[in-house]
C-alpha cells in the first residue's frame, strides 16, 4: 500500500502498516554522491544486525565460520526463527538466557529475538515478558543496544503486547481452501471481501502488515471488541500514531475460519490520503491471518488461491525468510545480492540507503530526485537516486526494470531497517506469484510481457 518508499512493519519496531503514497517533485535531477562502503570483514554482531533487517541469507552462509559458541547460538536461533522453526529458536534462546555469564549486549539481542518470535506466533504474554526484560537491560546499560532505536522499539512492542497478554490467542477454527476474487484499487493495491463477525468487509491484502488494521468506524460496524488501552505505533512520516486494539471474534476468508483476530484501530482520518479524487482504506488484512493460509497463489487474473502444500515439503528452505512478522526474499539487483522485503501492500519496489551504502559504485553519478509521501502520521520526503535499466533476479528469473529508486537519506526510520522492498510493480509482472510457508519459498510464474 505504499509506492516508493514502502512503509512496512519491521522487526523490533512495530509499525502500523499504513499507506504511504508518494508524489514526485517536478524539479531538475541532481547527481548522487556515493556513500562510503563498509570497511573490514563483517563479524557476527554485524551479520546478526543485518539478519534483523532481512539479510538472513548472509548469516546462513557465514554460520560455519562463526567460532564463538555464544554468537553461533544467537545466529542459529535467528536462522531457525526465520525458517519458522520457532520451537528450535525458543530452545536455543532459552539456553542462552539461562547462562549467567552472558554479557548484556548478547542478552539484549536474545530477549529481542525471543520477543520477535513470540509476537509473530501470537504469544503476546511471552512477547511482553521478553520486551520487559530487554528494556530493563537497556536501561541499566544503554551501550548494550545493537541499534539506537532498540529501547524505543522494545517499548512500542511492549505497549501492544501487554494489553493482549490476557486475550485468548488467535486460533484456526477450520480451513477448507477456497479461491477468493481480488481486485486492484486506484493505486494498484489488491482488495478482497472478508467476513468479520458475520459481516462482509472489503480489505487491502498486505503481506507487509504486522497486524491487521481497521478504521474506528469500521471497527464499530464489524462489532470488534475494543481493549481499554491506547497504544502508539510509528508511521512513514516517523511520527507516533495513537491507536486502539480491537479483537474480531471470528474472521472468514478463502475457506479459512479463524478466531480472536487482532486489529489495530485507527481514527478514520488516519486512513484518508491525499490522492487526486480522494482515497481511503477501511481495513487491511495483515500477515498473521495471511500466514494461516499456508500456501497462497496470487494470480494475475485477480484470483487468490490457497493451495495444499506443494511436493517437497520438509526440504531445505527456499528463497524466503521471516523476521518477526516480515517476509524477505533473496534477490539480486544488477548482480548484487540483496534481501528484499516482500510487501504486497507496496505498489512500487525500491532500494534503501542501506543498499546505497553497501554499493556506492551503483549510484555514483546517477541523477537524483526528491520524493514526497503522505502517511497516517503526516508527510515526509526523501532524496533518491534513480538507477536506470536495472535487472532484478528472483526465483531463477531475470526481470528487466526501466528504473528503480535507491534512497539516499539515512535516518532512524524504516529506511534504515531493511535493504529494499519488493512491491506490486514487480510481482505484477508474473502470471502468478505464490508464497509457500511450508517450503519457505516465493514461487513465480512466467514473466508477462509489458504492453
Q: Cell 484499487 appears where?
A: 185
Q: Which three cell numbers stand for residue 89?
A: 529458536
Q: At what angle do helices 86-98 and 69-82 cross, to 10 degrees?
A: 150
| CA 341 – CA 268 distance, rounded (Å) | 28
In order, the DSSP letters of 167-224 are SPPPEEEEE----EEEEE-TTS-EEEEEEETTEEEEEEE-TT-SSEEEEHHHHHHHTP
In this structure, are residues 113 and 89 in contact, taking their beta carbons and an 8 Å threshold? yes
DSSP lists the bridge partners of residue 254 as none
Return the pLDDT at 275. Answer: 74
Return the pLDDT at 372. Answer: 67
Give Cα separations from 315 to 121, 157, 308, 311 (angstroms): 22, 33, 16, 9
Is residue 186 exposed (0-12), middle (13-18) or buried (19+ Cβ within 10 Å)? Answer: exposed
Q: Cell 535493504 appears where?
A: 419
In this structure, are residues 349 and 13 in contact, taking their beta carbons and an 8 Å threshold? no
Phi-psi region of 172 (alpha: psi -120 to 50; beta: other; left: phi over 0): beta
The set of long-range contacts for 91-97, using a CB threshold of 8 Å and a minimum separation of 24, is 93/117, 96/70
| CA 142 – CA 240 distance, rounded (Å) | 22
In this structure, are residues 409 and 415 in contact, taking their beta carbons and an 8 Å threshold? yes
| CA 107 – CA 198 distance, rounded (Å) | 45
Return the pLDDT at 312. Answer: 53
* Angle, CA 137 vertex, CA 136 and CA 143 arms, to 5°: 130
Return the pLDDT at 137. Answer: 93
> Comparing C-alpha atoms, which of 354, 359, 279 is closest to residue 3?
279
Q: Which three cell numbers stand for residue 189?
A: 493495491
Residue-by-residue pLDDT tens, the chain, 451 positions: 343 333 333 222 233 333 333 333 334 455 544 444 444 457 899 999 999 999 999 999 999 999 999 999 999 999 999 999 999 999 999 999 998 777 899 999 999 999 999 999 999 999 999 999 999 999 999 988 888 888 988 998 999 999 999 999 999 999 999 999 999 998 888 999 999 999 999 999 999 888 999 999 999 999 999 998 877 675 544 456 788 999 999 999 999 999 999 999 999 988 887 777 888 899 999 999 999 999 999 999 999 999 876 655 455 689 999 999 899 999 999 999 999 999 988 878 999 999 999 999 988 899 998 876 655 545 567 789 999 999 999 999 999 999 999 998 765 444 467 999 999 899 999 999 999 998 999 999 999 987 6
In order, the DSSP letters of 69-132 are HHHHHHHHHHHHHHTT-HHHHHHHHHHHHH-TT--HHHHHHHHHHHHHHHHHHT-HHHHHHHHH
Going through 276-431 in order, the beta strands assigned E by DSSP cover 279-280, 283-285, 295-299, 303-306, 320-323, 326-333, 336-342, 350-351, 367-375, 378-394, 397-407, 420-422
In this structure, are residues 366 and 387 in contact, taking their beta carbons and an 8 Å threshold? yes
Amino acid at each position: 500500500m505504499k509506492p516508493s518508499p514502502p512503509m512496512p512493519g519491521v522487526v523490533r519496531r512495530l509499525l502500523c502498516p499504513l499507506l504511504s503514497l508518494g508524489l514526485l517533485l517536478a524539479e531538475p535531477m541532481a547527481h548522487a554522491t556515493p556513500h562510503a562502503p563498509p570497511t573490514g570483514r563483517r563479524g557476527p554482531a554485524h551479520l546478526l544486525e543485518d539478519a534483523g533487517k532481512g539479510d538472513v541469507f548472509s548469516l546462513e552462509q557465514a554460520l560455519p565460520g562463526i567460532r564463538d559458541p555464544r554468537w553461533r547460538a544467537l545466529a542459529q536461533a535467528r536462522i531457525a526463527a526465520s525458517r519458522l522453526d520457532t520451537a528450535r529458536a525458543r530452545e536455543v534462546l532459552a539456553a542462552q538466557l539461562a547462562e549467567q555469564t552472558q554479557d548484556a549486549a548478547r542478552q539484549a539481542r536474545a530477549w529481542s529475538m525471543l520477543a520477535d518470535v513470540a509476537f509473530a506466533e501470537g504469544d503476546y504474554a511471552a512477547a511482553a515478558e521478553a520486551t520487559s526484560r530487554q528494556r530493563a537491560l537497556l536501561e541499566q546499560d544503554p551501550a548494550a543496544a545493537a541499534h539506537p532505536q532498540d529501547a524505543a522499539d522494545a517499548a512500542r512492542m511492549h505497549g501492544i503486547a501487554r494489553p493482549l497478554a490476557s486475550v485468548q490467542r488467535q486460533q484456526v477454527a477450520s480451513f477448507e481452501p477456497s479461491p477468493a476474487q481480488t481486485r486492484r484499487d486506484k493505486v494498484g493495491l489488491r482488495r478482497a471481501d472478508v467476513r468479520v463477525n458475520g459481516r462482509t468487509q472489503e480489505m487491502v491484502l498486505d503481506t507487509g502488515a504486522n497486524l491487521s488494521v481497521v478504521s474506528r468506524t469500521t471497527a464499530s460496524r464489524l462489532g470488534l471488541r475494543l481493549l481499554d488501552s491506547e497504544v502508539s505505533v510509528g508511521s512513514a512520516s516517523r511520527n507516533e500514531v495513537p491507536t486502539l486494539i480491537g479483537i474480531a471474534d471470528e474472521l472468514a476468508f478463502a475457506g479459512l475460519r479463524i478466531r480472536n483476530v487482532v486489529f489495530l484501530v485507527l481514527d478514520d482520518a488516519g486512513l484518508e490520503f491525499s490522492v487526486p479524487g480522494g482515497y481511503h482504506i477501511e481495513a487491511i488484512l495483515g500477515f498473521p491471518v495471511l500466514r494461516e493460509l499456508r500456501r497462497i497463489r496470487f494470480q494475475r487474473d485477480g484470483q487468490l488461491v490457497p493451495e495444499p502444500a506443494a511436493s517437497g515439503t520438509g526440504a531445505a528452505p527456499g528463497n524466503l525468510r521471516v523476521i518477526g512478522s516480515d517476509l524477505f526474499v533473496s534477490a539480486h539487483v544488477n548482480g548484487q545480492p540483496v534481501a528484499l522485503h516482500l510487501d504486497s501492500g507496496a505498489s512500487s519496489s525500491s532500494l534503501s540507503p542501506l543498499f546505497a551504502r553497501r554499493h556506492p559504485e551503483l549510484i555514483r553519478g546517477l541523477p537524483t530526485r526528491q520524493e514526497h509521501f503522505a502517511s497516517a502520521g503526516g508527510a515526509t520526503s526523501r532524496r533518491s537516486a534513480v538507477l536506470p535499466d536495472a535487472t532484478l533476479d528472483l526465483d531463477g528469473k531475470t526481470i528487466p526494470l526501466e528504473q528503480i529508486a535507491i534512497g539516499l537519506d539515512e535516518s532512524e526510520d524504516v529506511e534504515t531497517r531493511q535493504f529494499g522492498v519488493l512491491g506490486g510493480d514487480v510481482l505484477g509482472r508474473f502470471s502468478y506469484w505464490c508464497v509457500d510457508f511450508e517450503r519457505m519459498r516465493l514461487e513465480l510464474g512466467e514473466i508477462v510481457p509489458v504492453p
